[in-house]
Structure 1
Amino acid sequence: MRVALDVSILHAPRTGIGEYALQLGRALQKSPELELALFDGLRWRDDFPAAPQPGYGKLSQAVKAILPNAYRVRRQLMQRRFDSGAKRLRPQVYHQPSLWPLRFDGPTVMTLHDLTHVHYPETQPSDRLRAIEHYLPTALQQASRILVDSQFIADEVTLHYGVPRSKLQIAPLGVAPRFHPRSEEQLRIRLAAHQLQMHSYYLCLGTLEPRKNLDLAIAAYLTLPDRIRHRMPLLIIGARGWRQEQLTKIPHRAQAHGQIRLLGYEDENCVAELLAGAHALLFPSRYEGFGLPVLEAMASGTPVIASDCGAIPEVAEKAALYMDPDDIDGCRSQMLALLNDDSLQATLREQGQQRARQFSWERCAQITVDTYRTAGHF
C-alpha cells in the first residue's frame, strides 16, 4: 500500500504535533505493508527533514505581515507541488497528520489532535483561526477516516461537528525511546552545564502560549518559601508561541537569583535529559487533546503535577497529581505535598512508568495502518 504522508510540519520548531508526525512516520516506515512517500510542503522525498529550518517561525510571521492571505497562498503553492508529485507517485492513500488535508482524488486520512480553536479561540492568532474555520469543516466532511489521539477528542469532534463515530479512530500517541529513567551519573554533564542538582528543580515543558497556562505555574512557584525556591529552581522550556510576551512579567529578582529560568527552545536530547532529572513536571495546561509531555515525563520516571483538564486524566489516570488550572493555591499544595513525601514521589515514579509502558508508537502506527486499509477498502 503506497501512502503519501505530509511531513511539512517538521520544518517548524518541534512541538507535540511535530513529534507525532516524526515518530509515527518512523514507525510506519517499519511496516512491511507500506511504502511511504513523504511530502514536505515543497517537494517529495524519501527521508524526513533532519531538523527544523532556522528562522522558520520568523519567516512565516514576516510573510503573514506582508501578505494578508498568506495561509491561502501557501496552500495553493503546496497544492501545486503536491499534485505534481502525486501524479508521478500515484499514492493509494493520503494522510495529513496536522489538521487540514490538501485535495486528493483518493482516500484521505487526517489527524485532528484537539479543538483548541473552538474552546479557546482567543489563544489563536486571528489569521490562523480564520484559516481553521475556513478549511476544517470541509476537511472533516471529505476525509475518509479521521484519527484522534484520545476518547476525549473523539467525543468532542462528534459533539461539535456532528462527525459520525464510525468515521473516527482513536490512535493514542506513543513515547520515544529517548524518554527513560536515568541515573545521576548519566545526567552529570547536562546538570552541571545548567548548574542543577538531580531531582532538585521543577520543569515546565511546552510552547510559550496562553493555553499552556504557564503563568499559573510561575505564580504558584513564587508562593513557595524562599528557602525552597533557592534550592529548587523552576525551568521553563519551550518555543516562542503566540502572545508569549506575557511571560516577561516574571519578577526580576526571581530571574536574577536563578530561581526561574526561561531556557527557550532546546533540542530533543536536552529536553529528555532535563526531564529525567527533574523533581516534577508542572503541566497546568487548560486544554489538551492528549498531553504528550505528561506521557514523556512518566516514561522518564518523573512525577507529574497536571491540570485535571481535557485528555490529561485519560492519559495519566492515577499516575499523576491533579490541580484545577485556575487554582494557584491548589498547585502550590500539590508541589509541597510531593516535596515533603518521599513515599509519594516513589509511588508516582513507579506508577508513571507502568502507565507509560501501555503506550507506544508501534501501536499507534499499527492502528494507523489499519485505518489506511479501512479508508482505502484494501
Structure 2
Amino acid sequence: MLDVILGADALRAPLTGIGRYAYELALRLERHEDVSRVRYFSLGRWLDNPLEGLGAKSTEDVAESGIAIAERKTLRTRLAKSPFMVRMYGKVTPTLFGWRLRGNQNAIYHSPNYIVPPFPGRTLSTVLDLSHILCPQFHPPARVDYLNMTLGPSLARTDHVIAISETVRQEIVERGLMPAGRVTAIHLAADAAFRPHDRQMLEPAMQALGLQAGQYALFVGTVEPRKNVERLVQAYGLLPMDLRRECPLVIAGGQGWNSESVHVRMARAQDEGWLRYMAFVDQRWLPALYAGARLMAYPSLYEGFGLPIIEAMASGTPVLTSTTSCMPEVAGGAARLVDPHDVEAIAHALLECLDDEAWRAGARAQGLQRAARLSWDRCAEETIQVYKHLA
C-alpha cells in the first residue's frame, strides 16, 4: 500500500492548470485501492483537507461550485514580484520545508509543480514545461530567476520526473536535466464538465454572456506574450469585416504579464465591434462557452500541454492551434495546425476554418475521439504505476 504526500501549493481557488491537475489527481488518489493514505503539504504547512476547502467533492461538482472567484492578492503573490524576495525564498525554504517533512522515509513525496523539498523518502516531481529555459522572455524576471535557482537542486533530490507531454520529456532529457529512464510522459485531460451541449443547454450561458451559439471564435487563456494573443488579434483583423462582426473573436482570460500593448489592440477591436474581451468567466458558464464556439483558436507559441486544446475537443468544438512545441502531439491529428509566428497564415487558416462547415464537422468528430482517449482516470492510474515503481 502506498503512503503519498502531495504538494498542495496550487490547490486553492480559482484552480489554475496546475491546480486542476493536482485536484484531479488528489481526488483519485483518495479513493484508489493501492493508496493507504494521502497527506497534503503546502508552503511548509500540513493541510487537513484542501479538497474540502475548494467546496467540490467530484469532477461534476466543480462546474457547479463557487470556486471560480476573482483571485485574491496574497502576500505570496505580492512578494513574487520582487527578485530579491524570490531569491531569499528559494534559499531559505528548502531547509525549513525539509525539517517539517522529516520522519516520513516510508512515504512518497510528489510535487505536481516542479519543486521537491529535501525529503527522507522517495520523491517524484511533475515538470510542466521548460519555458523558463527555452523562452525566458515569456516570464517576469523574478520567476525565471526562481526556477533557474531551484529547479536544478530540486531535480538532484528527485528520484523520478513526470512530464505532461512527450515533448517536455524530450526537452528534459536533451538538456541533461534527468536520465531518460527516470522521466515518464503522462498526458493531462479535460474535466468531465467539458462536453457537447445542445441548444437548450447552451441558452442560459449565451444569455448571461451576451453571445450567440456558433457565432463566435474563442480563445481561452491568460493574455500574456507566450499565448500569442497579439498575433491572433492581428490575424483576425485581416478577415473580412462582415465575417468579423457576424462571428466576433471572444478572448477569455485574465491580464497577464507584459500585455499592455495587446490590451490596447483588443480595446480598439472591441470598439469596432468584432472582439469581446472577458477578463473573468464564471466557472459555471465556461463549459458552455467552449461548446458554443464555432472555433477554438489557440496559436500559442509554447506549451507544456495546452489544456484548452483538449477542453475544446471534449466540448465538440473544432480547434486551430500551432505547429510548435507540444501542440501537434496533444492535438493528435484532430486539429488544424498553423505557424504561430505568421500572422497571414493564421488569418488564412482562421478564414478557412470559420467558413468550411464540412471541415468543422470532421474536426468535431475527430476531436471528440481524441479527447476520449485522454482522461483523468488514465492520468491518475499511470501516475500510481510510477509510485509503485518508486516504492
Which residue pairs with 1:62 in the alignment? 78
Q: Distance in 2 between matches of 1:251 and 1:364?
A: 37
Q: Distance in 1 between matches of 2:7 and 2:88?
A: 17
Matches within 5 A, 1:136-151: 136-151=151-166
Contact 2:105 2:119 in 1 (8 A): no
- Relative to the length of structure 2, the TM-score reads 0.89
Q: Distance in 2 between matches of 1:66 and 1:295?
A: 35
Deviations 1:119-165, CA, capped at 9 Å, x for gaps: 11111111111111111112222211100111111111000124211
Q: Is the alpha carbon distance of 1:191 and 1:53 closer, same or farther for their aligned partners in structure 2, counting shifts above 3 Å? A: closer
Q: Distance in 1 between matches of 2:212 and 2:244?
A: 13
Deviation at 1:315, TM superposition (A): 1.3
Which segment drifts farther, 244-253 or 97-106? Answer: 244-253
RMSD: 2.2
Deviation at 1:88, TM superposition (A): 7.4
Deviations 1:161-184, CA, capped at 9 Å, x for gaps: 242111011111122100100011
Q: How many residues in Structure 1 have an aligned counterpart in Structure 2? A: 375
Residue identity in the other structure for 1:15: T
Instruction: Tell me which of 316, 322, 325 is aligned to 1:301.
Output: 316
Deviations 1:237-273, CA, capped at 9 Å, x for gaps: 1233211223222164421244212211324332221
Q: Is the alpha carbon distance of 1:97 and 1:235 closer, same or farther for their aligned partners in structure 2, counting shifts above 3 Å? A: same
Q: Is the alpha carbon distance of 1:81 and 1:350 closer, same or farther for their aligned partners in structure 2, counting shifts above 3 Å? A: same
Q: Distance in 1 between matches of 2:217 and 2:278?
A: 13
Which residue pairs with 1:39 in the alignment? 41
Deviations 1:344-372, CA, capped at 9 Å, x for gaps: 11100000001111101111111111111
Matches within 5 A, 1:1-378: 1-11=2-12, 13-34=14-35, 35-41=37-43, 42-48=45-51, 49-50=53-54, 51=67, 55-57=71-73, 59-64=75-80, 68-70=84-86, 72-73=88-89, 76=92, 80=96, 83-84=99-100, 86-87=101-102, 92-250=107-265, 252-376=267-391
Deviation at 1:327, TM superposition (A): 1.1
Q: Secondary structure at the match of 1:322?
A: strand
Contact 1:201 1:235 in 2 (8 A): yes
Contact 2:68 2:282 in 1 (8 A): no
Residue identity in the other structure for 1:26: L
Q: Distance in 1 between matches of 2:28 and 2:3?
A: 15
Between the two proteins, what is the percent identity of the paired residues?
A: 31
Which segment drifts farther, 127-136 or 9-18? Answer: 9-18
Q: Is the alpha carbon distance of 1:82 and 1:266 closer, same or farther for their aligned partners in structure 2, counting shifts above 3 Å? A: farther
Which segment drifts farther, 159-168 or 73-82? Answer: 73-82
Q: Is the alpha carbon distance of 1:301 and 1:248 closer, same or farther for their aligned partners in structure 2, counting shifts above 3 Å? A: same
Which segment drifts farther, 303-312 or 59-68? Answer: 59-68
Which segment drifts farther, 349-358 or 229-238? Answer: 229-238
Q: Is the alpha carbon distance of 1:73 and 1:140 closer, same or farther for their aligned partners in structure 2, counting shifts above 3 Å? A: closer
Q: Is the alpha carbon distance of 1:143 and 1:64 closer, same or farther for their aligned partners in structure 2, counting shifts above 3 Å? A: closer
Q: Distance in 2 between matches of 1:152 and 1:133?
A: 20
Contact 1:10 1:52 in 2 (8 A): no
Q: Is the alpha carbon distance of 1:95 and 1:233 closer, same or farther for their aligned partners in structure 2, counting shifts above 3 Å? A: same
Deviation at 1:287, TM superposition (A): 0.8
Q: Secondary structure at the match of 1:359?
A: coil
Deviation at 1:212, TM superposition (A): 0.6
Q: Distance in 1 between matches of 2:70 and 2:46?
A: 18
Q: Distance in 2 between matches of 1:327 and 1:121?
A: 21
Q: Distance in 1 between matches of 2:117 and 2:69?
A: 22
Gaps of 5+ in 1: none
Q: Distance in 1 between matches of 2:166 and 2:327?
A: 11
Which segment drifts farther, 70-79 or 167-176? Answer: 70-79
Contact 1:11 1:56 in 2 (8 A): no
Q: Distance in 1 between matches of 2:154 and 2:42?
A: 19
Q: Is the alpha carbon distance of 1:156 and 1:331 closer, same or farther for their aligned partners in structure 2, counting shifts above 3 Å? A: same
Deviation at 1:78, TM superposition (A): 8.0
Q: Distance in 2 between matches of 1:160 and 1:270?
A: 41
Which segment drifts farther, 306-315 or 19-28? Answer: 19-28
Residue identity in the other structure for 1:8: D
Which segment drifts farther, 278-287 or 42-51? Answer: 42-51
